[in-house]
Structure 1
C-alpha cells in the first residue's frame, strides 16, 4: 500500500480533521472608462489609503485595484466577503467600471499607465520605486495583467491526524515539509488549473503589438489576436513571467533549500538590468540591479508563506516560523463570475491542494522541475488541442492530457467523499463529477467559453465591456452580506489616518532606509 492510501485511510477514520480549512482571496481588476479604455484617474480617495487599507489596495498601477478578503473558514463566507468588497468599491467609482478579464483592455501607450503611489513615507516610496523598476525591466503593460490568488492553510486537526503527538519544533518542521510536498505536486500536476480555469485565450491588439514573444497568432480583427487551443496566455512567456529568472535554481525539497535559493536570487546581479542603472539625473529607476529587486518579484505559480511580523520580509518570516500557508497564483480572472472566482473553483482548489499534500511526492531535481515546466507551457499554449500528450516526469513515458486528468480525478473522487463527510455536504463530489467531464469536452473549459464569445462578437472590447456593465448593475443593487457600509467607511477613514501616522514617523532619509533594508537582506 502506498502512502496516499494510508493517509486517506487515516483521514477516513477522522474526517473532522479536514474541518477548519482557512482561505483568503486576492483579486486584481483594472479600472476602466465607460468606453473600455484604461482609467487615467488616481486611486479614489473614497477607497481609502492603498498603503494601509485592509481590503482594498492597488497593485502595479493606480488603476489596478486589488481586493483582499480576511481569513475565513467558510468558502461561502469568503465569496460573500469578496462580493461585499466589490459592492462597496463599485459604489465609489461613479461611472468607471472594472475590467473583467485577465489580459488588459485597450492601452494606447505604456505612458498611459500611471504607477501606483503610496505617499511620502519611506515604505510608501519604496513600494512606488519597486514598481518603477518593474516598468523599466519588463514594460508597464505586462504588469497590469490581472489574476486571482488563493491563500490556503490546513487546520491543526489535519496535522494532528497525520502526525500524531510531536514536540512543537518537530511539528512545525513536519508541517513545513508537508507544504513543500504539496508544492512539488502542484508543480507536477498544477497544469490542471489552467486547463480547467484558464481564461486568457486571446489578446487585445494594443497588447500584442507591445509583445516581443514570437508565437503564430491568428488575427481576426485589429482587436483580436489568438491561438486556436490556448488556455492561459497570462501564464505563458507572453504574459506575467520573467524569463530572466530562468537561470535561478530555486528548489522546493525543503524550507532550507528554498530559502537558500531565494537568498541567492535577491543577491545575483543581472547584466541586463545593470544597463538600466539604479539612478540618473531624473532620480531612481529601480531598487537595485539584481535579478530580483526584492522577493516579491519572484514569479511562481505557488508560494510558501507565513504572516510577517512588523517589517519582516517574507523569507524572514518563513525562516522564523516555517510555512504557515500556501498562495496559489496561477488563476486567471474568471469572466463568468462577477468577483473573478466562483464556488466551483474554490471547492476544487480545496480538494486539489489537499490531494497534493496527501499524494506521494518524491524529491525533485532541477531537471525534473524543467520537465514539469514544459508540461505547463504546453497546456497554457495548446491545452485544448485534441490528443495533446504530456510527459510523466523525465522517464520518457507520455500520456494524453485527458488520461492524466482521469488518473488524478480518480484519487480526487476518493478524497471528495471524505471531505464531504467532514462538511456534511456533497459539494466536493459534485464538483469532481462536473469537472472530470471537461476532459472529455474541452468546450466546457473557461477558455473555450470565453473564446466562443469573443469570436461571436468579433471584439474583446465588446465582450469585456458587456460583462463589466452587467457586473456594475449587479453590484449597484443588493445589500451587504458580511460587512456593513459603516465598516467600510470606518476602515477607509482609519486607513488614511494610518498612512499619515506612518509618514509622520519617518526618522531616516530615503537613502538610509534603503541601505538598511538591503543590509538586512544580506544577513538573511
Structure 2
C-alpha cells in the first residue's frame, strides 16, 4: 500500500491539488441513552422540548425511546462539527430535567428487556414503518443489543477532488462511476486496516452485569456489578454487540458498487425461514416489516457503509444504484467516556488522514481468504487487542500488532504531512504521533485508561459512568449560546408541526403503504 499511496500523494502534490485533501466534509452522529438518577434506562417519552423524532433534522432517537441520537450537519472542519455537537448536547441537557445522558457505549442498568421502550414516531405511515422495523429487531435479535450506543463518522472528499483525481488516473468514464469506485477503494482498505481504529479508540472493555441478563458468556468479573475482558478494546464491536452472529452468513460484498448493491438487494428480498416463523401481522399487531433476511438495508451491521442522501421514500440501495456513492459512514467508533463529547478534534483529524490514506492506497479487491483474515483480526482486536505479544494476520503471515500498526501509521503519516503542508501547521502530523504513542504503550489507549480508572474508583461500571456523565454535563451545558438555544427551539417547534401535518394528511392504509414499500 505504501508505494501506491506515495505515488498518489506525489501526483496530487505536483498537480497542485494537495489542498483538496484538507477540504474534507465531515458530520457526526452520536447516540446516548437517557438514564435516571439511579443509572437505570429512562421510561419517559422523548422530551417534547427536543421536538419530533420523526422530522427533526438534528435530534432523533435510534432503537429505543430512551436512546437519543444527535446529528450534525455536514461541516467543513472537524472543529465545526464538534462545536455543533457541543451545542446539541448543551441544548438537550436543558430539556432532560433530572435525567442524565449516558456517556458510554455499553448501556446503563437495564433490569430486563421489558424495561427497554421501543422508539415511537407517531401515527403517520412513515412513523409506523420506523416503529415496526424496530419491533422486528426485537424479535430477531433481542432488545438488549439495540441499547448499545456509538458514534457514526460521516466523511467525504470535496466535489473538486474527483475530476482532478480522475484526470490524473487517465480515466475517461463517467465521473459518477469513478467516484463510486473510489469510495469503494476506500472501503476495501478500511476493512483491511480498520482494526487499528479499534485498537486506538476502542473504549468499551467493560459493561454492567445487567447487560448479559443471565445469558452465558466468557467475560470475567471485575466487581460484583461489572464484567470485562482484561485486554479487550471494544466489546461493543464484539459478538456481544453489533458484530452479530445472526448476520454472519450474509456475505455482503464490499468490492464494488454493483456487487454490493446486488448482494444487499438479494438480502432484503429473500425470505428467511427463521423469520417466517415470527410472522408479520399477528393478531392485528405487526411484528416485523417482512420475513426477509434483512427488513431494510440499515439492519445490516457493518463497520463501514457507502452512503448517499436519499429522497423521501427512497431506499438507500436504490439511491446508490441511481446516483452513486456520496460519502462513507464509519461505524466502528466507540463513545469515549473520558471525553465530554465522546470524541475530540485530534481523533477526528486522525480519522480523516486515515480515510484519505485508504482512499489513495492499494486498489485490489478483497478475496475470500483476505476477508477471512480481516474477520479474524477484528475478533482478536476487540476481545484481546492489548494482549502482550498479540499477532495479527497479514499478507506475509502472522506479525506482531506493533509491526502492523506502525506500518499503517507510516502510511497515514505521509498523508498527514502533505495535509499539514497544504493547511499550514502540524495538527495532522501531531494526531498521528499521538497514535504512535498508544502503539508503543498500550496503557495509553482509551480501553486501558477506562479499566484503570474504573478499578481505581472502586465503583461499578454503572456508578462510574453515571459520575462521568454528570461531570460532562457540568462541562457542556454552560457552553450553550443564546443563538443555538433559539435555533434549536425553533427547530423543535417546526418538527412537531411537520409531524402533525404528516399525520393529518390523507394517506393510504398502512397495509398498502407497507406492501408498496417492501415491493419497491
| TM > 0.5 fold call | yes
Q: Distance in 1 between matches of 2:70 and 2:148?
A: 15
Are the equivalent residues in 2 in contact too, given 1:27–1:149 (CA < 8 A)?
A: yes
Q: 1:162 to 1:451 in 2, by over 3 A?
A: same
Are the equivalent residues in 2 in contact too, given 1:413–1:429 (CA < 8 A)?
A: yes
Residue in 2 that maps onto 1:326: 328
Residue in 2 that maps onto 1:202: 206
Deviation at 1:168, TM superposition (A): 9.2
Matches of residues 451-470 of structure 1 in structure 2 within 5 Å? 451-458=451-458, 459-470=460-471
Q: Distance in 1 between matches of 2:100 and 2:200?
A: 27
Instruction: Give the one of 211, 220, 223 matched to 1:221.
Output: 223
Residue in 2 that maps onto 1:287: 289
Residue in 2 that maps onto 1:424: 424
Q: Deviations over 1:73-96 (max 9, x none)?
A: 011111100000000000111111
5+ residue gaps, structure 2: none
Are the equivalent residues in 2 in contact too, given 1:25–1:149 (CA < 8 A)?
A: yes
Q: Please state if 1:187 is matched with 2:191.
A: yes
Q: Tell me, what secondary structure is at the counterpart of 1:361?
A: coil
Q: 1:95 to 1:287 in 2, by over 3 A?
A: same
Q: Distance in 2 between matches of 1:113 and 1:253?
A: 37
TM-score (norm 2): 0.96
Instruction: Give the one of 53, 59, 67 matched to 1:64.
Output: 67
Q: Please state if 1:480 is matched with 2:500.
A: no
Q: Tell me, what secondary structure is at the counterpart of 1:328?
A: strand
Residue in 2 that maps onto 1:89: 92
Residue in 1 that maps onto 2:413: 413
Over the residues paired in the alignment, what is the CA RMSD in angstroms? 1.6
Matches of residues 44-59 of structure 1 in structure 2 within 5 Å? 44-59=47-62
Q: Distance in 1 between matches of 2:3 and 2:236?
A: 37
Deviation at 1:282, TM superposition (A): 5.3
Q: Deviations over 1:311-343 (max 9, x none)?
A: 111001101111110000000111122112111
Q: Distance in 2 between matches of 1:69 and 1:48?
A: 16
Matches of residues 344-363 of structure 1 in structure 2 within 5 Å? 344-363=346-365
TM-score (norm 1): 0.95
Residue in 2 that maps onto 1:177: 181
Moved more, 261-270 or 77-86: 261-270
5+ residue gaps, structure 1: none
Q: Distance in 2 between matches of 1:347 and 1:89?
A: 26
Instruction: Give the one of 22, 26, 30 matched to 1:27.
Output: 30
Q: Distance in 2 between matches of 1:101 and 1:506?
A: 42
Matches of residues 500-515 of structure 1 in structure 2 within 5 Å? 500-515=500-515
Q: Distance in 1 between matches of 2:189 and 2:22?
A: 22
Deviation at 1:156, TM superposition (A): 2.4
Matches of residues 208-287 of structure 1 in structure 2 within 5 Å? 208-212=212-216, 214-215=217-218, 217-281=219-283, 283-287=285-289
Are the equivalent residues in 2 in contact too, given 1:7–1:162 (CA < 8 A)?
A: no
Moved more, 272-281 or 124-133: 272-281
Are the equivalent residues in 1 in contact too, given 2:5–2:411 (CA < 8 A)?
A: no
Q: Distance in 2 between matches of 1:71 and 1:488?
A: 17
Q: Distance in 2 between matches of 1:253 and 1:190?
A: 16
Deviation at 1:19, TM superposition (A): 3.1
Q: Distance in 1 between matches of 2:511 and 2:191?
A: 39
Q: Deviations over 1:464-489 (max 9, x none)?
A: 111111112123323429x5211111
Q: Distance in 2 between matches of 1:232 and 1:75?
A: 23
Q: Deviations over 1:489-509 (max 9, x none)?
A: 110100001111111224200
Q: Distance in 1 between matches of 2:512 and 2:416?
A: 54
Instruction: Give the one of 68, 77, 81 matched to 1:78.
Output: 81
Q: 1:97 to 1:407 in 2, by over 3 A?
A: same
Residue in 1 that maps onto 2:309: 307
Are the equivalent residues in 1 in contact too, given 2:290–2:518 (CA < 8 A)?
A: no
Moved more, 497-506 or 485-494: 497-506
Are the equivalent residues in 2 in contact too, given 1:306–1:323 (CA < 8 A)?
A: yes
Q: Distance in 1 between matches of 2:149 and 2:196?
A: 20
Q: Please state if 1:497 is matched with 2:497.
A: yes
Aligned pairs, number: 515
Q: Distance in 1 between matches of 2:200 and 2:487?
A: 36
Instruction: Give the one of 161, 164, 170 matched to 1:161.
Output: 164
Are the equivalent residues in 1 in contact too, given 2:21–2:356 (CA < 8 A)?
A: no
Q: Deviations over 1:28-84 (max 9, x none)?
A: 000011111111100000000000001000000110000000011011111100000
Q: Deviations over 1:180-221 (max 9, x none)?
A: 111011110000111011111012110123545x42x21132
Q: Tell me, what secondary structure is at the counterpart of 2:373?
A: helix
Deviation at 1:434, TM superposition (A): 1.1
Q: Distance in 1 between matches of 2:240 and 2:277?
A: 22
